[in-house]
Structure 1
């Protein structure tokens, strides 16, 4: 290729045009520093809580899971059937892709290679997790004395929702057709909840609202849906098999709004509640 006398001038013009279009390249600039969040969310909804059973094992991308959460930007998120590695990945995607920063506490109740991968001699942790935009304190992780066909438990923390301190519980009860086991688990959970004047209890209870084993919870707290009662057909379903298994129970916490949002990434819907 042959360059004429005007080549330096032409090159300078091209460089100048690039600077105008792309901006300066000083250290820390977006072009050469960290990438900007995609579809960044300015802030979380400070009085919104959410519960979601992730479905495990399921072939689902953590990028997609994070996008589902970011769509509603809750202050507190309770996850069940959660692998530690997946939760770490979801948290990173929430921050890097959506500008949402969360603290995380884990409530693993077993280590399972089949569900969570890892080395056969060091499988990944599996159980519950809580993400909160505010710091969490006084973490308690309890494994139920009898988990049924699989170890189960609850995770509890103190954090801030709607500008007020509240105790938050996240649980996953024994699988369907294990009513007697769930009854014992609910007794353990209800005793812990009863020690707190204000509490939010979220999770997958694997039981419909009229199930006898949920009676201790109904005696302590109300569903975030004012139309939902321990009676058949009074509550919106939260699973692909058209049952309500997922709950946001409120103890001395005002209920303002609730919604169930179907997700293609799990066999459970996202359940959200705005509280006062």
Structure 2
């Protein structure tokens, strides 16, 4: 069948319209396609853990947040200032765009429309979250008796690193200039951490390493950076845009291998990640029991 000129023009217009809506089939020129080339599909880095305050409310794209996480592909992640809806979207982007599959556990401490949106009568949940490549068990979610200017808390799960069980904590302490509140909060957290010989404590502590409110944590665990000590002589890399170290990966009974602090345009906190050797036991096992 031979089409007339008018029919050929109509057919061409329909093809162009479909290309704009669906996107070209070649991944390199995709306009709206979400699939990536095979070489972009990745696996998590075994025994790598990361902590990141993702900043909220900051109106950042969850696609961008997922891309930042995928560059490091940690096995375990502690997210602070997280909304359930955001974490669900980040998880979906990590799987759909990068082939990275995570289980999720939540440690929500409040519902807040200003931070997490939702209907005014049903605002989104806000707090901490732990995505992990391995399954998690024994979730504990604790809200601190005094959150300070905003409800705060910690969560804990048991997962595996290198085939070994480990207790992972994720917390966000009270805001700056609330030292006494943070001291009470770390007392609650330290009492739980002390029950475990192998633990990883992730989070935004809103306190510099030599702050007195962190004394109880330092007594139980070491920073993943061996050069970072709870004194002014320690060489601690800043983890925030205002050049303070507020973010930590504390290790109890676990040996660190290598760590990195990565500034990101998508939060006022940097990404901090560390590779661990779960087969070795550190000598830092001072117990409060």
Tell me the alpha carbon deviations over residues 206-226 of structure 1, each in whole angstroms, 9 at most, x when there is no partner.
Answer: 000000000001000000001
Partners of 1:58 and 1:198 in 2: how far apart?
Answer: 35
Pairwise CA RMSD of aligned residues? 1.5
Partners of 2:102 and 2:237 in 1: how far apart?
Answer: 29
Partners of 2:50 and 2:161 in 1: how far apart?
Answer: 12
Paired position in structure 1 for 2:152: 152
Unaligned runs of at least 5 residues, structure 1: 4-21, 23-33
Report if the CA contact (8 A) 1:37-1:99 is conserved: no
Q: Tell me, what secondary structure is at the counterpart of 2:155?
A: strand
CA drift of 1:165 comes to: 1.0
Q: Tell me, what secondary structure is at the counterpart of 2:241?
A: coil
CA drift of 1:69 comes to: 0.1
Partners of 1:124 and 1:163 in 2: how far apart?
Answer: 35
Unaligned runs of at least 5 residues, structure 2: 4-24, 26-32, 278-289
Equivalent residue runs for 1:20-59 within 5 Å: 36-37=35-36, 40-59=40-59
Q: Tell me, what secondary structure is at the counterpart of 1:159?
A: strand
Matched, 1:254 2:255: yes
Report if the CA contact (8 A) 2:228-2:235 is conserved: yes
Paired position in structure 1 for 2:122: 122
Report if the CA contact (8 A) 2:34-2:97 is conserved: no
CA drift of 1:231 comes to: 1.4
Aligned residues: 247
CA drift of 1:35 comes to: 6.8
Partners of 1:161 and 1:171 in 2: how far apart?
Answer: 20
Report the TM-score when normalising by structure 1.
0.87
Q: Tell me, what secondary structure is at the counterpart of 2:40?
A: coil
Paired position in structure 2 for 1:30: none
Report if the CA contact (8 A) 1:51-1:248 is conserved: yes
Matched, 1:172 2:207: no
Q: Tell me, what secondary structure is at the counterpart of 1:268?
A: coil
CA drift of 1:261 comes to: 0.2
Report the TM-score when normalising by structure 2.
0.83
